[in-house]
Every structure is written in structure tokens, then in C-alpha cells.
Structure 1
Amino acid sequence: MDPAALARRATRWHAAGLASSDAGQPGRAARELRAGLRLAKRHPALRDIHARLLISLAWAESERGRVELGFRLLDEAEALVAPPQRPILLGQRALLLKRSGRNAEALRQYDESIGLLSDLTHPPDLVKALNNRSLVHLEAGNVRLARADLRRCAEVAARHGLGLHVAMARTNLGCLDVIAGDLPAALRAFARSDADYRVLAPGRLANLAVERARALVAAGLYREAERQLASAVERATQQQLGHTYADALQVRAEAALLAGEPVAAARWARRARAAFLGRTNVRRAALAALLELRADQAVGEVDQATVARRAGVLAGRLARLGLPEDARVAGMVRARALVAAGRPRRAAELIGRQAGPRRTDRLDTRLLWHMARAEVAASAGRSAEARRSLLAGMTALHRHRARFGCADLQTGAAVHGRDLARAGLAAALAEGSANAVYRWSERARAQALLLPPVRPPDDPVAAEALEELRQLQHRVRQAELAGRPTLAFHSRLEALQRVIRERAWATPGPRDAAPPTPAPLSAVTAQLAGAALVVYVAAGDVLRALVVTDRATSVVVLGDRGTAEEAVRRLRADLDGQAGRAMPARLAAVVRAATRQDADRVGSMVLDPVLPLVGDRDLVVVPTGLLLTTPWHALPACASRPVTVAPSVGVWLAARRRLNAGRPAAESAAVTVVAGPGIPRGEAEARAVASLHQGAVVLTGPEATPAAALAAMAGAGLAHIAAHGQHQTENPLFSTLELAGGPLMGYDVQELRTAPRTVVLSCCDLGLTDVRHGDEALGMPTALLAAGTATVVASVSRVADEAATEIMVAYHRAVVAGRPPAAALAEAVRGNQPPSFVCFGAG
């Protein structure tokens, strides 16, 4: 065949192979490149295209796990390559060296390659080299150099219309934002790259999923990270992306460790280490070994003296590999293991030689440093120093959290402080000081609700998705009522929820918010005005109550936390079972008796032991975990007692301040009453409630749309909504109030510029919340409190329409008579069933 014809055909195969490589499909790329090679080998005049095919094939084969073959192909190409193609060869060799963990050699090759490339003659090769060199700088901790390379890469790519490489540079700039702790910026970058990859290179989505998962782990959303990683592992396996596969396994180990699943974390870390060793990448294998070591330490059953020895060896290896921060992490693991093994002096020597955390360190490194310092100090009896280290760690976590503007990330971040919080509370309990227990409990609980509220910026994409979701949910509801199947809607519903949630993640936070300082107990007592405060705390499996009255402050041991939470679940299930069900008289009596028995059981575990201290006082309750969903008025001791429930004392005090600040204007503030569709007595309830408030705005029938309801609620003194409610456990901010034309959701509440002073939700379940680590609660009540509402009245179980109407009318009658919300609710539920409504916030 004519050499020119052979060259054209080989060049076409080369172009196809490059396109497949760029699209993240190395297996396909290898087949295409080998087809070109077979043609190029047929004539000695085709040296140039022969060399280019070998250079490109080297990456494809190394990505499939055949790294040594990749190097041999590059050696073969070196004998053929012409001078103009030499920088391309250098760049490809650098990439293989970097993927093998030989970063110092890779950097030298990249420097030489980039020095020879021009954006006029080799723009694609230049942007690839710049993008890849940035990753070497990144692993070395040279963020400034990495950012400079990526910015130049993006500029050159944009100038030459290389859209895919613009997206790749943006992705890696997002990785820099993750390291800097600016997760909203990172997630915005990843979202934009996702849209580009879906059009330009779907094969790149596996790698992007790993980077997004890394950001979600940093945000504390480890379950969401797991979903991303499951997809990434599947894609990487199908596409033969060996490096991405190993990377995904390592991030999976990080997610499992954060989730408190150390056995699973150790298993994923071992698999990642094996995968990296299979690619001869000893650097990444060492990082996986560090994860495995930390997981083994967290299991607790592993001999800690052995962990200390392993950590010492690994610290030296990481230092030799040019990973100084990770070497310091291994040193901290060693110090903690030495304390646990009964060698505190050796641990103190080791931690004393280590420098403090650096500004550029990862959050995890900084928090681990404070934790190790605290344990070493505590083991030497220096409790004040230990306390200062723990507080410094919680302060660092607060600064991290303040960079987020959405409740999802703000509440998720608490998991990073789990060990610090447990250690601080355990130390306070050991100290035996009720004041210390109070202060530490406040520092480690519901901190997200104390951040200044951030209204999301106008986002047309999120707004459009939210409106489509609303309409689709309305169609699903109509189909359900008509008995038609709804399965076809589910994938689109999930996709829309994902878009809305991910757009919200990108909202920047207040940043400069100072860490909240717990108010003095004297100030708390003054605000209680004769009421009693009961703060529930859990240390391990033991549940305790901190009781504060105007006479004394005490800590009372209650019993097993899990048993109490299970009793609450049973009680709520009883109330759910009774709601709206017509039962024979004998069966109804049996069910009521079972409910009373379960209510007595809950009361005996969580309230009866503190009654001698609180007497007949009104209660302000700060629950922990699932106790936040307790139907307090179902308990015998609270049947007619005013009870206010708050996620923390700080949240309660903030709500009280809002209540008192708005009191002068409250007399003239508007009252909004809304009734949704499908509730037989909804409109009658709305009319009855409105008749008690002069000049109330009433929205019923087709007028009661989400948009109209939100407009009427803005700035109102009181808003009452009677509607079907549904709490979503997986995504609490998608909990709904069914209104005309579609639901009103938790995400809608965040759009309120001025939240109503008091909100009453006459519906099922919307008093429920998803309680995360650090007692960070996410649901409709906390969404309203975060938006600025002072008091929320809602049910923690299902409730029959007729019963709800009776309670609600009685409640508003008491409010009009001058009762505060908590007292009005206690009066309204007295003698009415079921007593599932709870007063959240200021009371």
C-alpha cells in the first residue's frame, strides 16, 4: 500500500485512540491505537506516526494496569521520535511516573516538556502537561504552583476551543478548593464539569465522581459520598480505569472511617493498597496503609502497642516518600496508641517533638492533632491543657462549618468533631461539675442552628428544578389518589431532588461567624423565669439528664440510651396506629391501654427520675438523638404541663431573643391561615382558627398555592397551615406540606426573607427531624427555626383530622387569651387524643 495512504489510515486510528483516551476509555483506546500501529509498522517512512501511536498507547495500557508495558512502549518510542515530538514523549513518561508514585522524576520530565511546548504549535499537548503537572504540585502541597498551572491550562484551552480541557482544569481547581476547605466552590466547579463531561466525555464521569465524593467526605456527608463511589467503582471497572478504581477504593475507606465503620474502612483500605501496589504506586499504597492503620486503631480490639509500632514504621516511610503531612498524621496515631498502651511519657515525648498544625493542613489533620494533644495531656493529669486542646479542635471545626451556606452541609460537618465531642463530654462528666457538663454539651450540640442564616443566591436552575419537582409531586399525588401506578415518576423525582440538593451545596457560608460561647447558667436561669431546664446527654450507652432550676443544677443518671430511644419509637408507632382508624370499641380500648403503657415506660426512663428536682415547673427540654421526636404530652408527668423543646440551650435562647425583640410589633402583625386540599375538615379548621384572629388572611381551595402561602407567611406574626404533611427521612428538607397545585417543601422555607414569628403545622409527622452526629437536626421545624421563626408547633406522629382540628382551635383560643405557645398547647391537648403535638423553639 502507498505510504501516504498508510499514514492517513494510521493517523485516523491515532485520532480515534486519542479521543477514546480523553473520554476515559483506555480499553477502547488501546484497540484503536494498536490498529494504527499495525499499519505504521508496515513502512519505515512512517516513523513519526509510529512513535506517536506508541506514546499514546503507553498511557492506555498503563491505565489498564499494565504500567511496566507502558514504560517499555515509551522506551520503544524514544528510538523513533522526532525532535518536535520529544516534549510529548516527556509529558507522557511524566504521567506514567506520577501514576507510579515517582513524583520527583515526573516533575523533572514535566518541567522539560512544558519548557519545549508552545501554545501556538502544540496547544492540546501543552494543556495536558500543565493539567498533569498541577497534580504533582498538588500532591507535594504546592497549592500556589498547582493553581498557577491550572489557570494557565484553562486560559490556553479556552483560547484554542479545547472545551474538554477547560472542564478538566476546572475539575482540578475544584480539587484545590477541597484542600483549601472551600467546599461550596469545589462543588460548584464539579457541577459545571459534570454538565460538560456528559456532553464532551462521559467516560470522565467516573473520575469526577471520586473527586466529588472526596469533597462530600470533607463535608461530612459520607452516605452521599458512598453513592457517588459505588457509581465510580462500577464505571471504572467497566472502563478499565485502574487508577480511578484504586482511588475510589481509598475514598471509600475514608467515608467508612468517618461513618464510624472501622472494620469496613480497613477492608476498603487494604483493597486500595493492593490496587495501588499492582500499579507500582508505592506513594498511594502508603497512604492507603495509613488509612488501614487508623481504621485498625478505631476498631479498639487491635493491640495498641502493635499499632504504635506499625505507625512508627509507616511515619518514616511516608516522610521518605515526600509526604510530610501524612507522616505527621502517622506520628499522631502513634502517640494516641502509646497512650492507650499505657506509655504516656513516650507519647508526650513524641507529640512534643511535632510542630503544631499548619494553616495549609487538611481539617482532618488539624482535628487529629488537637485530639492527640488532649489525650496526651489527660494521661499526664493536665486536665486544663486537655480541655484547651479539645476546645481548639471544636473551634477549628466551627470555622470549617461557617464556610457552608446550606443546612445540609452545616449539619453534616459535625461528624468530623465526633471524637472531640465525646472526649470533652466524658472529661466533663468525670470532673463531676454540672456547669462543665452544661458548657461542653452546648459546644458539641446543634451548632449549625447558631450560624447566621444565609439566604441562597438567586439560582434559575435550582428554581426551575424545584418548580418541576413540585408539579411532578402533585401529579404523583393525584395518581396515588386515583389508584394509578407511580413507578414511572420515581427516577425523575430523584434526579430533580439531586439537582436541587447539589445546587444548594454550592451556597457559600457566613465565613467570619465567631464560634458561639455558651451563655452562663445564671443567664439561662434568668430566662427560665421559674421553669426547669432538662438537657439530655449521652456518653457511650448511658443517658443522663442535666437539670437546671432556680434552686440547683444537677446531673442525673437515667439508664440505657438505646432502650429509651426504642421506647420512644414504640410510643410513636402506637400514636401512628391510632390516627384516623376506626376500630371496634374493644380493640380501641386495648390499643389505648398499650399506648398508655408505652407512655408510662418512656416517662419512667426519661422524665420520672428528674421529677423530684423539677417539681411542677414548666419544662424546657433539650433532647439528644431520637428523644427529639418524643411526644412529650403523652407522658403522664407532662399531660397538662407546658413543655418547650429546643435542639440546644443556645438555640432556645436565640429563639427567646427573637421572640422578645418582635414582641412590640407582634400585636399588629398579620395572621395567615392556610388549608391544603384533601383534608375533610381542613377548610373548616382554617375558618375556625381565622375567626379567632382579627384580620387574618385566609387561603383555601385553589388560592392556597405554595407561592401564595409563602408570600402571606413572610413577616407574619403567626402562620397556621392545615395540610397533609410528609416527613422525608432520607432528605428532610424535601419534607412536604401538600397545598393546591403542589407541595411546599423545606427548601422553600429557606427562601423566606422574613420568617413568621410563630408557625403552627396542623398535619402529620412534620415535627419529625433527621438527627445527625452532634445532635444536628434537619427537618421542617429546624428549617423554620434556622430561617428566623421563634416558635414552631408540629406533630411528631400521624394525627387524625378531627382530633387535629379540636386541638388546634383550642390552642388558638388559648393564644388569643394571652397564653404563650407552650402553655397554650398544654391547655389544648389536655383531655384530647392523640397528644402528639410539640412546641419547638422559644415556647
Structure 2
Amino acid sequence: MPGADDLLDRARLAASSGSYPRATRYLEQACAASQDPYVLARAEITRAYIEAETGDPAAALKRCLEVLDSDDLDPVTEGKAWQQLGLIRMRTGENEAAMEALAQAIAVLPPGSDDLGYALINRGNVHLQHGRPRQAAADFAAASAELDKPGLELDRAKAEHNLGYSQLLLGDLIGAMTQIAEAAEVLSPSSAINRATVEQDRAEILTAAGRPREAARALQQAATAYGSRRLRTFQAECELTLAWTLLRDDPAKARVVARRAARRFRGQASPARELRADTVALVAEIAAGGKSRSLLERADRLVAALHAHGLVRDAVVLELQGARVSVVRRELDDARDRLSAVRVDMNTPVTTRLLWREVRAELAHARGDARHARDHVRAGLADLHTWQASFGSLDLQSTLVGHGRDLARQGLRLALEHGDPAMVFEWSERARTLVGRVTPVRPPTDEQVASDLTELRVLQTAGPAPRTPEARRMEALRDRVRQHRWYAEGAGEVTEPADVDQLQSALKEDDAVLVAHLVVNDRVSALVCAPDRSAVVNLGRLDGLRDRLDGLTSDLTMAAAHRDGPLAVPLRAALRARLAVVAEQLVAPLVDLLGDSRLVLTPSGGLAGTPWSLLPGLVGRPLTIPPSATRWLELRGAPQPGRVGLVAGPDVARGPEEVTRAAFAWRDATVLGGPDATTTRVAELAETVDVLHLAGHGRHTGENPLFSAVELVDGPWFGYDIDELRRTPSTVVLSACELGRVSVRSGEEAIGMSAAWLHAGARTVLSSPVLIADDIACDAMSRWHTLLAAGTAPADALAQVSAEADDVVPMLSFGAGW
């Protein structure tokens, strides 16, 4: 039978993994094996831990104090008791008392002691409760060093995980993701509780990364896992995080979840955590429109209680929300006083700094000081962009912009109220194209990503049924690919928006006009910038227009699928009518300003998917859609293409004919088809050509747009595969249905396969936002290649093809079309 010391160690490991009944059995066996006061004291300390974790902190506290009252405790046992007492004090929200107890533990425990590592972990957690992530990170790093011994891998992983969480609070999202992912390899297999803890903190990363829906799903699963084991404190912590996650998109639900968490904390005698849950509930009430005087009074009482418990981060958020309520109530002096009491610096989380800028801009606007309101919005967006530019992942960049959504809308609203076209142009560039202002950077080739994409290709081609092991494996691979790509570092550079003079000079050289469609407060406006004049035009409401655009997508799909037969004529008549109605709102009011010029379009994400080249007034007009006007200025000036690669994917009736006819336009073009059109061969081709033409079936994936793909003979070639290329073609043609489609994220960023190619370095991408019939693609794109080979710019060639066609050609030019 194991000795008492061995049984105590087993009990501690079982307790730390959440296996409390098993830990209790080991403790009973240890006490039965030895009546040594040392053994009994250690058993009592572990029992106190179990009581605290399972909802009886008062009994746990009493047990620890009784141990500390014992005579002749050796330093290690005394240190264990102090560090356990500190943990319990932390759990009950007595942070100052917790810090004192943990300081005693750290002073008593000898260097190299395992318990010194545990005490440092606990003190780091108290620092986190106080909103001191830098001090917490230092303690977790020291704990990791103390626990770097054989047999303590699980405990060290906990320290490393917590270090990652500290980095998250410090704004180092990449460091946090990397640290937590590495620790998860040890923690997740060890127990359901540790796995749930990892998922909970990963969910916070997802929230910070602008993916609240995914975060909410992960948190609900983690809360269920805790609840099934009756770990009410852990469950309440998870619900607290979930409430913060739900706050932006569903404040009513956030309030319900927060109040449920508060009740659980109250039942666990955890007043500090109860206060944090009450904070989320009150913020949710404000977000839902609450503005009463009694609400402000409740907020003030709660802020005082938060500060009394050292919960500074939560207090600052609530103070800012209180100032916002005062602005809404037109109590502007009170709002000013509230804001002046808030202390925000670079150690404050980015999201809180953005909220601070939002409220200060709201107050300045309410005072009639539009200039200072714009200054606050500009500074807030600059802060966001600095953070955003540290990431190389397009996926991560595009989701992060959700944090700046409200600021961006404030800036546009202020500019439109002012009415000056130059100012509207500045804010169109600053606010709408939040990703477009971040300098793209090519991530390094990642062997793990490449391997995972290959496996995913095989599984997706097999088409496993939902909820099978193969389907779960596919989901795990997608998560790993995305997270690995998130780790790519950015260039750290943000492009300042071009000014109107610079833009107008380029427009004059190119005989072009810029139109920036803007959506603010469900109304559509258009900034028209010509070489010699600019204007802002009101285009009416968005709501009815959005319905008409959705109907237009359906009409185009039906028309492409029924080019012959009895439905062809009525479908085309309905399509022409719908195009005319949409053009009446979006184009007709602008025609006099456009003349016969080329068109540079930077539409709002709210208009994503519009088939611009088919709208009356724009048919046959060269147009291109760059990420931003500033980016267009950087990309314009199409070089004459040299090397050309053409690919026909499987099961496209006229795909081989399309690429063969296109190849005739060029002196020396490489054509891949049939068994040669593999992902490996196509990637090799893409790295060596200036023009890449992909004719195949495509699929747009709405939730994860970078998993959109063109089908090749050995499976899908994903958007993520583009990042694995060592060199990118200048011009890419996606002659594949759906690959011009986009998903619009919370910051109104449109992302899809076209955006992925542009981010990777392509200058021009041709694709269709809707289904395109095989014969239309075959005829139109072979003619386009003839014009391109003769020296015509990509967008000019596409306009000529569209004007000559007997049927609609829904292809669009993205990026710089000339």
C-alpha cells in the first residue's frame, strides 16, 4: 500500500484536476496510514481546498486557521497553510487579506519548493482580480520557473496558461493565444475541469478577437461542463465571461446571464465576484437604453463597492457607462466630472480605451464641439489600428475591427453632419476600410498548416456525415489552421489615408471618378469625387434596398440556371426590372456627376454583393472595387502581364474549353486540367505566373470565409492555401460560382476569396458575387484574355466584354483594375 506522503500527493493532484471524491478517499487513506501531525496538517489543508472549490468557503477558512494555530509547524507546512488561506480569501473576494496571506506563504516557503510555485500562481491571480496584469505576469513566470520539474508538468502548465491570460489583458493577443495553446496540450487531456477552463479562456480570446458568437458557444459548453459536476463557482465565472461576451449584440440576454451568475456567487459567499456580475448586468441595462436617475445612483454605489474591493478594471468600465448615461440625459457638466475622474493609460485594455474615446466624443458632440469629437474618434481608431497592425492574419484583422465599429460610425456621422466632401472622404477612408489601412504582410510558410489543409482536403472531399468522428476531426482541423494563422505577426504599420488632392490628381490621370457609398443610421449616402469637383449625395434608406439586393442575388442565380426554356424570358424580364429599381437608388442620382468616366467604387459593407457592373448607368463602364481609395492609389498602374497560367477544375462542362480558348490569346500559356489540376500543381503554377485563371466550381463559406475554396481534382483549394504561396500572381481570375461572394463582419468589413488574394499581394482579382453560367464564363473570359493580351487593362477589358455580351456577365474587378 502507498505511504502517507504518496497518498497526500495523489490527493492533491486529484483535487487540482477537479476529482474531489477521489481526492477525499486518498486523504482518508493517508490519515489512516499515519497519525503524524505533519500528515494530518497537510490533509486538512487539502480538505480546505476541496471545501472552498465545492462551495463551503467558510468551513475551508476555519480549517486553515486551525492549522495555522498549531504549534511547531515546519516551514513547508506553514507555507502551505498560508498559501491555501490566501487562495480561499481570494475566492471570497477578500483581496487585501489574500495578498497578506500569500506574502506570508512566499516569505516562509524555501526556494525550489513546489508550494512556492503554487503561492506565486495564487498571488498572480489576486493581481488579476485587482487589474494588475503586469504584476500577475511576473508572478506566473516565476511560478513556471519554480514548477519546472519532472512530475509537475500539470502545475507548470497552469502557470503558463495563466501567464497567457495575463498577456491577453495586456493586449498581446498573439502571445496569449500561443501561451494558452501550448499549455492546453497538457491541461486539456488531464481532466474535464481543466479542459473547460482552457475553453473558457480561449473564449475570452475569441471575444477579444472579435468573434463573440464562437466565444459564446464555447462558454456555454464550458458552463455546462462545470454545472454537470456541481462546480458552481467555476460555472458562475464562466457565465460572467459569457455575459460580457453577449453584451454588444444581445444586452438583454447578457443581463439575464449576469444576474444568474450573481446569484450563484451569492450562494458561494463570493462578494467580489458578485459585484463583477452586478456590473455586467448594469452595463447591459445601460446598453439596452436605460437612462434613469435611479440607474445612475445604482451605478455610483456599485462603482464605490468595486473600488473598495480593488476591482479597478470593472469600476472604470462602469464609470464610463455612467458618464454616457449623463450625456444621454443632457447633464453635460456631470458627464464631464465623471470622465475627469476616470484614469486611462496604455495599461488599460484596448477595448476600455476605445470606450473612453467613444464617450468623450459623445460628450464633445453633445456640447456642439464637433472638432474635438472628431479628434477623439480619430485617436481611438489610431489606437485600434496600432493594435491591429501587430497581426498578420487577415482573418484576425477583419474580426478585430468590430471593436472599432461604434467609433467608426461616430466619425462618419460627424463627417456627414458637417457635409464637407473632403472631410467625408477622410472618414470614409478612416472608418470603413479598417483592415485596408493595415499594411499587408506575407506570413511565413507553416508546415503544420500545410499538413492540416491537406488532411482537411481529403476529409472534406469524402463528405462525412454530421457528428461523426470524421466531421469532428474536420472541425478540429479548421480551428487549428485558423489559430495557427492567427499567430502570424503583422508589419506593425498603418497607412494614413490619402488626401483629396492626391486622389483627384490620380483620378484626372486615369479619367476616373471615385464613388464611396456610405451607410450610417440605416441611410445610404454617396461621396462622389471627380478630378475637378466633389459632392455628397443622399440616396435614401437602406432597409428596402437591402431586400431588393437580396432579391437581385436570387434573380441572377435563377437566370444563370435557366438560360433556355420557358422560364428564361420571364426570369430575365424580372432581373432587368430589379436591376433598374436598384440602379434608380444607387446610380441614377449620380449619373450627371459621373459623365463617361471610369469608376473607382468603395462601397459600404452593407452593400456587399451588389452586381455593380450590371446596373443601368454602369453597364459597359470600366469599374474597379479596391479595399480603399488609399489602397487603390498604391496599386494603380497595371503592368503588362508576361507569364499566364490557366486551370480547369473537375466537373465544369465547358471549363476545359474556357482555358483552352483563353490560352490561344497568349504566346506561351501553361494550362492544367484533368488529373494535372491538383492543389500542389496549381500552387506551383500560381507562384510562377503573372496571371492565374481558375475555372472551376467554387464554394463560399459564410462563417469562415477563408475556408471558401475552388474545387480541384484532389479536393478544395482554400483561401488559407493562398498564404502558403511564396509568390502571388498580379492578376487572378476566379471563374467559379460563389467565389466573388463575401461575408460582412461586425465592423462592416467584407471578407472572402477575393479579399484573401488582395491581402496576399494580388493587384487585381476578377470574380462574380453570384452564380455565373458555364457558357457565359467560357465566352466572356476567352474574349477578356484576348483583350488583356493586346494591352487592355483588366477592368477596361471586362467592361468591353460586358458591353459586347448578349447576356449578363456578373464578373467584377476588385483591387486596381487599371
Provide TM-score, normalisation by structure 1.
Answer: 0.92
Aligned to 1:381, which of 360, 368, 373?
368
Contact 1:631–1:835 (CA<8 Å) still a contact in 2? no
1:464 aligns with 2:437: no
The equivalent residue for 1:319 is 307
1:452 aligns with 2:439: yes
Deviation at 1:78, TM superposition (A): 4.6
* Structure 1: distance between partners of 2:404 and 2:654: 47
The equivalent residue for 1:269 is 258
Q: State the Cα deviation string for residues 778-819 of structure 1 (Å, max 9, x = none).
A: 211111111111111001111221221011112112222332
Q: State the Cα deviation string for residues 165-210 of structure 1 (Å, max 9, x = none).
A: 1211110110121122110111011111121123334430111111
Structure with the larger helix share: 1
The equivalent residue for 1:837 is 811
1:671 aligns with 2:653: no
Equivalent AA in structure 2 for residue 312 of structure 1: D
Equivalent AA in structure 2 for residue 814 of structure 1: L
Deviation at 1:255, TM superposition (A): 1.4
* Structure 2: distance between partners of 1:61 and 1:832: 78
SS of residue matched to 1:574: helix
The equivalent residue for 2:245 is 255
Q: State how 1:220-239 maps to structure 2 within 5 Å.
A: 220-239=210-229
Deviation at 1:108, TM superposition (A): 1.1
1:525 aligns with 2:515: no
The equivalent residue for 2:63 is 73
The equivalent residue for 2:727 is 754
The equivalent residue for 2:482 is 501
Q: State the Cα deviation string for residues 452-503 of structure 1 (Å, max 9, x = none).
A: 2233234332221111112222333xx9xxxx99966422221211110111
Q: State how 1:797-812 maps to structure 2 within 5 Å.
A: 797-812=770-785
Q: State how 1:144-543 maps to structure 2 within 5 Å.
A: 144-258=134-248, 260-300=249-289, 302-355=290-343, 357-476=344-463, 489-511=470-492, 513-514=493-494, 516-528=495-507, 529-543=510-524
Contact 1:308–1:333 (CA<8 Å) still a contact in 2? no
Contact 1:373–1:386 (CA<8 Å) still a contact in 2? yes
Contact 2:399–2:747 (CA<8 Å) still a contact in 1? no
Deviation at 1:382, TM superposition (A): 2.0
Aligned to 1:63, which of 35, 49, 53?
53
More off after superposition, 138-147 vs 223-232: 138-147
* Structure 2: distance between partners of 1:693 and 1:33: 75
* Structure 1: distance between partners of 2:734 and 2:522: 34
* Structure 2: distance between partners of 1:722 and 1:41: 74
SS of residue matched to 1:533: strand
Equivalent AA in structure 2 for residue 689 of structure 1: A
Q: State the Cα deviation string for residues 352-407 of structure 1 (Å, max 9, x = none).
A: 3444x212111122112212222222222222222111111111111111121211
Aligned to 1:614, which of 577, 594, 598?
594
Q: State the Cα deviation string for residues 125-183 of structure 1 (Å, max 9, x = none).
A: 22222211111123334444323322222122223441111211110110121122110
Contact 2:31–2:39 (CA<8 Å) still a contact in 1? no
SS of residue matched to 2:161: helix
Equivalent AA in structure 2 for residue 278 of structure 1: G
* Structure 1: distance between partners of 2:531 and 2:799: 22
1:554 aligns with 2:535: yes
* Structure 1: distance between partners of 2:340 and 2:24: 58
Residue correspondences, number: 812
CA gap of 1:596–1:12, structure 2 versus 1, over 3 A, is same
1:574 aligns with 2:568: no
Equivalent AA in structure 1 for residue 237 of structure 2: D
CA gap of 1:199–1:449, structure 2 versus 1, over 3 A, is same
1:704 aligns with 2:698: no
Deviation at 1:776, TM superposition (A): 1.6
* Structure 2: distance between partners of 1:753 and 1:386: 44
CA gap of 1:50–1:432, structure 2 versus 1, over 3 A, is same
Deviation at 1:81, TM superposition (A): 7.9
* Structure 2: distance between partners of 1:456 and 1:244: 38
SS of residue matched to 2:514: strand
SS of residue matched to 1:45: coil
* Structure 1: distance between partners of 2:591 and 2:107: 78
* Structure 2: distance between partners of 1:487 and 1:677: 27
Contact 1:645–1:840 (CA<8 Å) still a contact in 2? yes
* Structure 2: distance between partners of 1:305 and 1:534: 45
* Structure 1: distance between partners of 2:625 and 2:349: 36
Q: State the Cα deviation string for residues 596-648 of structure 1 (Å, max 9, x = none).
A: 22222221222222223223332221111242211123222222222212232
The equivalent residue for 2:764 is 791
* Structure 2: distance between partners of 1:606 and 1:723: 32
Deviation at 1:46, TM superposition (A): 5.2
More off after superposition, 102-111 vs 571-580: 571-580
* Structure 2: distance between partners of 1:81 and 1:771: 67
* Structure 1: distance between partners of 2:403 and 2:420: 26
Contact 2:120–2:139 (CA<8 Å) still a contact in 1? yes
Q: State the Cα deviation string for residues 752-780 of structure 1 (Å, max 9, x = none).
A: 33321111111101011111133322211
1:813 aligns with 2:786: yes
Equivalent AA in structure 1 for residue 620 of structure 2: S
Deviation at 1:726, TM superposition (A): 0.7
* Structure 1: distance between partners of 2:130 and 2:469: 49
1:604 aligns with 2:572: no
The equivalent residue for 2:565 is 584
Equivalent AA in structure 2 for residue 410 of structure 1: Q
CA gap of 1:405–1:241, structure 2 versus 1, over 3 A, is farther
Aligned Cα root-mean-square deviation (Å): 2.4
* Structure 2: distance between partners of 1:143 and 1:488: 39
Contact 1:305–1:337 (CA<8 Å) still a contact in 2? no
CA gap of 1:38–1:708, structure 2 versus 1, over 3 A, is closer
CA gap of 1:42–1:497, structure 2 versus 1, over 3 A, is closer
1:639 aligns with 2:619: yes
Contact 2:41–2:67 (CA<8 Å) still a contact in 1? yes
* Structure 2: distance between partners of 1:119 and 1:144: 22
* Structure 2: distance between partners of 1:466 and 1:117: 49
Deviation at 1:41, TM superposition (A): 7.2
SS of residue matched to 2:585: helix
1:117 aligns with 2:117: no
Contact 1:226–1:255 (CA<8 Å) still a contact in 2? yes
Contact 2:14–2:23 (CA<8 Å) still a contact in 1? no
Provide TM-score, normalisation by structure 2.
Answer: 0.94
Q: State the Cα deviation string for residues 64-86 of structure 1 (Å, max 9, x = none).
A: 22222322333454566861322
More off after superposition, 440-449 vs 779-788: 440-449
* Structure 2: distance between partners of 1:613 and 1:142: 56
1:730 aligns with 2:703: yes
More off after superposition, 130-139 vs 270-279: 270-279
* Structure 1: distance between partners of 2:445 and 2:351: 33
Equivalent AA in structure 1 for residue 585 of structure 2: M
Deviation at 1:729, TM superposition (A): 0.6
Question: Please, which runs of 5 or more residues in structure 2 have no aligned partner?
Answer: none
Deviation at 1:278, TM superposition (A): 2.5
Question: Please, which runs of 5 or more residues in structure 1 have no aligned partner?
Answer: none
SS of residue matched to 2:536: strand
SS of residue matched to 2:450: helix
More off after superposition, 319-328 vs 366-375: 319-328
* Structure 2: distance between partners of 1:40 and 1:781: 65
